[in-house]
Amino acid sequence: MKTVEDIVNALGIITGGRTVSSMDEVKSGDHPFVILKSSGIYGKEVLEIPGLVYGSPAKQVKKIAVCMTMTELVIELAGATGVDAIVAHHPMADAASCGGVTLKNYLDLYNIAGLECHEAFHGLHPGIAFLHGHKITGVDISYGGVHGNIMFVGKALEGVSTLGDILDRLDAFMALDQDRQLLEQEQRIRGVASIQETTLETKGFIHIGNRSDQVKNVLHIFPHTGFSAENLITAVRENPQIDTVIASISRVYSGHPLVETAKDLGVNFIVGNCHVMEILENGLPLAYALEELLEGVEVVLFRDRVTSTPVKSVGNNAMRDYAKRISEAHLLGKNATDID
């Protein structure tokens, strides 16, 4: 029977030794992938711990769930479906990852171990570049000296010669036709044609250039990591062959300094997959690797699906009546507390 310790060892193999083996190693302060993430908002920082975050290493494991971000919904699905350990890509934290309560209380409730592997997983494989139609020739996971500021330099793959080829390739690999059909069915069943869904609202598009414009040399960036206009200027200066910038995982919109800088540099600018697809780009290969290394353990993938619905179209008549009555009776200033 496999244990949580076996998962930790498997993550060590997958990352080439980037994970931690104990909390003593975390507390030593010199592990390169134990990283404090903070934007300076008081009390909201989080420490990334690549490996076991909570649970007994000796706990037996029959079923693992791989997810992008642990939430209370992930924990509830894990508890309901017999999952023994959750391996999350993004770092987990008390309250933020578990419905406003502590990780210990919620994970103990369903006897689930929690593991994470974020920056320690980045840069291990060329899959995101491959999906976006290029082969990596250079990679930096801390460009400009900022840990997590990832940048790829690449050459277009055979058969990928235009911006349109990149967009068509992404549509095909990410099976957006299935998401379209699923949304259409949901709109029909709920009787709400205005429901929107993340994968379709955030599909790739071209900022600078046309579908027929040629692509040979690519700079692939991830704006949410802090990649700046100054970084872009420097990167293109260092790699003057670049003709196309791809931004993925996150995106920028018209008027953003990255777009304006790309215009000044005379390069194409295309937006690729957004964060909702990272569960397939990074999560699915991780799940396959864990299944291969942990013989006899069932591995499942937890994939988020987020929709947007006009408030007065949510639910059935009974639920809408409930929401209206509760709001009117209790939430429109009637719970105000006088403060002397």
pLDDT at 337 over 70: no
Q: What is the pLDDT of residue 252?
A: 96
β-pair partners for 298: 63
Q: Residue 96 is part of a domain; what is its CATH number?
A: 3.40.1390
Domain boundary among 57, 89, 121: 121
Mean per-residue pLDDT for 123-137?
A: 96
Choosing from 91, 121, 151, the residue where a domain stops is: 121
Tell me if 312 is assigned to some domain: no
Are residue 114 and residue 143 in the same domain, yes or no?
no
Domain count, the chain: 2
Among residues 159, 199, 155, 192, the alpha carbon closest in space to that of 177 is found at 199
pLDDT band at 339 (very low <50, low <70, confident <90, very high): very low
* Mean pLDDT along residues 270-283: 97
**What's the Rg (C-alpha) of the chain?**
22
pTM of the model: 0.93
Q: Are residues 204 and 105 in the same domain?
A: no
- Residue spans of beta strands (DSSP E) within 80-239: 85-88, 113-116, 134-140, 151-156, 196-197, 205-208, 217-221
Q: Please identify, among 60, 92, 121, the residue that sits at the C-terminal boundary of a domain.
A: 121
- Residue 340 token pair: 């002397």
Query: Is 108 in the same domain as 181?
Result: no
- Do 69 and 144 sit in the same domain of this protein? no
* Same domain flag for 159 and 251: yes
Q: Is 21 exposed, middle or buried (0-12, 13-18, 19+ CB in 10 A)?
A: middle
The answer to whether 122 and 220 have CB atoms below 8 angstroms apart is: no
Q: Among residues 84, 49, 58, 55, which one has the least CA distance to residue 5?
A: 58
Domain that holds residue 153: 127-275
pLDDT tier, 265 (very low <50, low <70, confident <90, very high otherwise):
very high
Closest CA to 149 of 206, 60, 215, 224: 224
The half-sphere exposure of 240 on its side-chain side, counting CA atoms within 13 A, is: 1
Q: What is the CATH number of the domain that holds 263?
A: 3.40.1390.30
